[in-house]
Amino acid sequence: MCCGDDCRCRPLGFLLGLPFALLSVLLSLIGIIVWIVGIVLSCICPCCICVTVLVELALGLIKAPIHVMEWFTEQIPC
């Protein structure tokens, strides 16, 4: 069942992606912890470039559940 002409509402893709999204939520929580530590370290030593890379990696982990659900819903045809 589609929710309009462009068929964005795909409940089957959402349901299939839910376990993987829950796993990525756990990774997101780890990303939040890494992000907090990275921000503190960058405040202590702003000249260290590897801390910036660590913070960027943590932001990617935080956004993981959204990317996983988008990917799964795009894979299921209408």
What residue ranges do the domains of the chain occupy? 47-77
**pLDDT on residue 52:** 78
Query: Which residue's structure tokens are 């893709």?
Result: 13
Give every CB contact of residue 35 below 8 A, 6+ residues apart in sequence: 55, 58, 59, 62
**pLDDT on residue 10:** 67
- Is residue 61 within 8 Å of residue 31, measured between CB atoms? yes
Q: Per residue of the chain (78 residues), what is the pLDDT tens digit?
A: 445 555 566 677 677 777 877 887 888 888 888 888 888 888 887 777 777 787 888 888 888 878 877 887 777 766
**pLDDT on residue 73:** 74
**pLDDT on residue 1:** 46
Residues in the chain: 78
pTM here is: 0.61
